[in-house]
Amino acid sequence: MIKPLFSLATAAAALVLVGCSPSGSNEQRMADASISAHDVAQGEVSCGELAGISSFCGFKNPEDLAVIPGGDFLLVSEMGAFMSDLPNTLSMLDISKGERVPIEINWEQTEPRWGDASCKPPEASKFSPHGIDLMTRTDGLHQLLVVNHGDEQIEFFELTAAGLSSSLDWRGCAKPGNDAYMNDVAGLDDGGFFVTHMWNKSTPFDTIVAQLTAGEKTGWVWEWQEKTGFIKLPNSDEMMPNGITVSEDNTKLFVNIYMANKTIKVDRLTGIVEGEVSVRSPDNVVIDADGSLWIASHLNDPVNERCEDEHAGPCLLEFQVVKANSADMSSQVVFHHKGAPMGYATVALPHAGNLYLGSASGDRIASVALP
């Protein structure tokens, strides 16, 4: 989250964030660099390795990440400034070279369509990606789902994974309507998906501030299926749902509740919360092959610290990564960092012995070695 959320948190801080400690006594840290964000000007942070962190520059707000089949490239969602709906794009990280690579997007309609047959194709010039989810369908095709704020709908793409020549073909969409303002999406084996709804998009922001300050639950989770369209998940009302993922068997959801400082485990059919982890301002959540959850958590002071939109270099606000067991929801902090070369991580993606970090505010992706 970027500038508007800090404004919101300024008003709501006394209720939501006061008393939350950045770290606990049982933290297990892979690295803990104490360089202050004020010690290095944001525009002067180099892309070399610093404090055990490698940086890969040339991106603009790489908010979410996914591993492209083959493992040599990451798919990157480069986001516009939060709540602006400004256009941006999708790209790739060439892991071996540490470089940003563009990815070709074909917006021409192809058959068969995926998603809702009545959904209108987006305006490509307005494409404004946010959360993404990449999965291999039961027919063997690679499906990418993207939250697109330009048309406030979910876009379906088919990914052709071919290294530097990888490409995306638009295959369809699904539009929730209902004044939705979405954040993240998680695909299902049956062709459907879940998506988080933060709050009603047309509601004046001052009203959202007042609602969250009062502890009101402004958002929820939608499930979309081709036969039923968008249906609100029972009992899913929460204070700004953010990142979302599903278990391998698709029976459990894991949802980050940003303004309530927790990650919850939810039964898909009943909506019953079966467990939770206390996590300060959790953004995106990734589940790995072992069932572990990797949660990017923001530790900055929302009253006194924020990064301006369109700033140069990285945002250097303090963050941590929490690893949780999806079975019993036990957890530990596995990475904690403040300062250069990169901060304000919105996603933590484990891959090939490294943890890749994206940010909704800044010019780079970073990586650290897993223990």
For residues 360 and 371, what is the distance between their CA atoms, to the nearest angstrom? 26
What strand order describes the sheet that includes 220-225? 182-187, 193-197, 220-225, 229-232
pLDDT at site 326? 98
Q: What is the DSSP letter of 126?
A: G
Query: Can you tell me the mean pLDDT for 140-161?
Result: 98
pLDDT at site 266? 97
Query: Can you tell me the mean pLDDT for 302-324?
Result: 88
**Banded model confidence at residue 16, pLDDT cuts 50, 70, 90:** very low
Query: Can you tell me the mean pLDDT for 142-151?
Result: 98
Cβ atoms of 201 and 194 within 8 Å: the answer is no
Determine which of 26-35, 265-274, 309-318 has the lowest per-residue pLDDT on average.
Answer: 26-35
| Two tokens, residue 173 | 């969409």
Quote the longest CA-to-CA distance of the chain: 55
Domain covering 3-369: architecture:
6 Propeller (2.120)
Q: What is the DSSP letter of 121?
A: P
**Banded model confidence at residue 335, pLDDT cuts 50, 70, 90:** very high
Q: Indicate the pTM of the whole model.
A: 0.90
Q: Residue 177, CB half-sphere, CA atoms under 13 Å: how many?
A: 7
Mean pLDDT of the chain: 89
Query: Can you tell me the mean pLDDT for 231-260?
Result: 96
pLDDT at site 44? 74
Q: Percent of the chain, pLDDT > 90?
A: 80
Rg from Cα positions in the chain = 19
Amino acid 158 reads: E
For residues 133 and 120, what is the distance between their CA atoms, to the nearest angstrom? 21
Of 17 and 154, more confident: 154
**Any idea where the domains of the chain sit in the sequence?**
3-369
> Tens digits of per-residue pLDDT, 208-228?
888 988 899 999 999 999 999
**C-beta atoms surrounding 190 within 10 Å:** 10
